[in-house]
A and B are shown apart, each in its own frame.
Chain A
Amino acid sequence: NAGVTQTPKFQVLKTGQSMTLQCAQDMNHNSMYWYRQDPGMGLRLIYYSASEGTTDKGEVPNGYNVSRLNKREFSLRLESAAPSQTSVYFCASSTGSNYLGYNEQFFGPGTRLTVL
């Protein structure tokens, strides 16, 4: 059981370049999430997918797009990278929308992105 996996682990981009961050989970979870972590800011939600076929904006969606490719995979795309998007990106998953009540989120190891 790999849990939540993310690729790549590190990436350096030039301003204006595009890239896609990949995330996959093998826990049969319904919900998936993308966060970014910046110094002094904690983790902030970019986009989430409550279930396969749905996506919604989080707190900081500008400059990003997402695709829920199937139940396992949730990708984050930067169409035209900016230095303000330099951050550590975490993907997470949880059992999610099929029941009301608390369910914890499981996080991947992160992707460290630098935009020059």
Chain B
Amino acid sequence: DQQVKQNSPSLSVQEGRISILNCDYTNSMFDYFLWYKKYPAEGPTFLISISSIKDKNEDGRFTVFLNKSAKHLSLHIVPSQPGDSAVYFCAAMVVTGGGNKLTFGTGTQLKVEL
């Protein structure tokens, strides 16, 4: 039972345009949602997060939107740059007193073309 799903394995956009990466989840108990970015041969790096009580969080070129009723979130990158080409993982977390475990989606490979 995959609790966090990224249904698009890949996405290709032109430099300067908007990239929209999508993520769906099934567990309504998740407290936070996070996006991680991963380059080849490196570990994932944190990009942006959103609390389950918010519907939007913005950080520079990156904005995450959360639609709780649809159990859906999306990451918008505007404008997209070639350096944004990477695999993007959506992850979700239930806050507990003992270590906050992340549940990851399967990732979306973003390619930003010149």
Contacts and interface: CB of A to CB of B under 8 A. Distances in A.
Interface of A: 4, 31, 33, 35, 40-45, 48-51, 54, 56, 58, 90, 92, 94, 96-97, 100-110
Contacts of B32: 102
A42 B41 contact: no
Contact of A45 (B34, B102, B106): B102
Contacts of B80: none
Contacts of B46: 104-106
Interface in B21-72: 31-32, 34, 36, 41-46, 49, 51
23 contacts: A31-B99, A33-B101, A33-B102, A40-B106, A41-B106, A42-B4, A42-B89, A42-B104, A43-B44, A48-B99, A90-B44, A97-B98, A97-B99, A102-B31, A102-B93, A103-B100, A105-B102, A107-B44, A107-B45, A108-B43, A109-B42, A109-B43, A110-B43
A45 B100 contact: no
Nearest to A106: B46
Interface residues of B, number: 31
Tell me what chain B mostly uses at the interface: helix, strand, loop, or mixed. loop
B1 to A, nearest CB: 11
Interface in B86-108: 89, 91, 93, 95-107
B80 to A, nearest CB: 23
Given A42-B105, A96-B99, A104 B43 contact: no
Nearest to A44: B104
A35 B32 CA distance: 19
A50 B99 contact: yes
Most B CB within 10 A of own CB, among A43, A45, A48, A100:
A43
A110 B44 CA distance: 9
Nearest to B50: A102
Contacts of A44: 104
